[in-house]
Amino acid sequence: MTVTPHRNSLFQSRKELHHVLSRHQQIAREKKQAQIVSLSQVIDAVDPLVILQRFATSGQPAFYFEKRERDQNDVNEGVVVAAIGAVAHQTVDGANRFTTAKHFIQSTLAEIATYGSFDLPLAGPHFFCSFAFFDDASPQDSRVPAATIVLPKWHVSYCNQRSVIVANLCIHAATKLEQCIDEVWQTWQSIRSIRHALLLPAIDHRLLRQTRDVAGTQHFKQAVQSALSLIQQNILSKIVLAHAVDVVSPLPFDAIASLHNLRQLYPGCYLFLSSNGNGQQFIGASPERLVSLHDGQLETDALAGSAPRGKTVNDDVKLANRLLHSVKELHEHRVVDQFIQQQLAQLGLKPQRLPLRLLQLSNIQHLQTPIHATVAAHTHLLDVVAALHPTPAVAGMPRPIACDYIRRYEPFERSLYAAPIGWVDHHGNGEFAVGIRSALLNGCHARLFAGAGIVEGSDPDRELAEVQLKLQALLQALV
């Protein structure tokens, strides 16, 4: 992989920008091949969600990714990034989708020249990726590719109380250079000058919308009962079954306002949006990290086993203690923990575990075991994603059998639900969340997804109550 770096102190004037782009246009003419130029600029802190609302249009792909955590000084820090448009784009189907996606990223990077503050967090070219749960689309879900990888035209990030703008430009021999420079310069200035907050809907139509279960609660409970029969026969040790709800609103759903609500309700979760530019937007607030990789250090989590939060402090403590000592929930968690360690070991890694702990959200709490490992340079982040997805936390064990029965029992396509969504940068760093607690928006229609892990000792009524609790978080936020 070759990414050509250049000095940081650029683009204080249009003349400097013209000098860089005209040089690459000359190269494009000589080689008779388009050149991709990535320009990074540091600016005062802006909210990428505001940038997404201000600059994204319905006819182009867009992406949003946020993970914030409060530090010891109670400052809400973390990483937030919004990406708009596409300079390079690939969709992939089939069992080799992760390998194909990796090769697309590597081959595209080999042709990119980078300028500006490319060594800062989230500077330089980034590829934003969303994967479907299954590697083959069913006929009724053919609009959702098994993998989508986008090098955006623009991305704006927030990290460590400052922001970076990245413009990725495709320069052809016939590019109208002055027009291109005008667009880049004006967009930079517009982003720099934005200080307003989100423009939120004046009217809340949640009271007017209609909600229905896709297949009915009785179908879900029957599926759980059938799964328990397979577990008793030792065909499965665990399976995760999802439930889906359709919501129809009198006005189109507002993905940005919904993300803002999720941000307020679940500040410790991953927030995400993946928009295909054809009217469909996949959003959610997931507590589950699939994997992150930074400077050779990999982090992932075993996250399985759930309980509601208590309405009082005493109730909350009792529910937490019950979760920490539940034979059923600990078994469900152990299946995920062992799977992740085995998969990482097969990649030649040596995973290390931290002690089991609770991940407590506003309405639910989970058993969590953080896992970390050192990764050699030849192991790509997407190699790890391919090895881990789907974990038993969203599929089951044995994995192939569980996935087969998921398609038999669930009367809807999972699409992007419970699948990897995240980014990879030009250094090979990146982060992927698991797209649970999520919704697929399409105009005035939304489909909401949530799932529950079924193991020996599961009860159909309790599992239904768990998925309804998870769905309520989305219903509360969706506008």
Going by C-alpha positions, the residue among 45, 42, 36 that lies closest to residue 12 is 42
pLDDT, position 197: 78
Mean pLDDT of the chain: 91
Helix (H) / strand (E) containing 244: strand 238-248
3 state SS for 307-327: EECCCCHHHHHHHHHHHHCCH
**This prediction's pTM:** 0.93
**How long, in residues, is the chain?**
479
| Statement: residue 75 has pLDDT above 50 | no
Give every CB contact of residue 126 below 8 A, 6+ residues apart in sequence: 81, 83, 151, 152, 155, 166, 423, 424, 425, 426
pLDDT digits over 324-342, tens only? 999 999 999 999 999 999 9
pLDDT digits over 437-469, tens only? 999 999 999 999 999 999 999 999 999 999 998
Catalytic residues: 238, 288
pLDDT digits over 260-309, tens only? 999 999 988 999 999 998 889 999 999 999 999 999 999 999 999 999 99
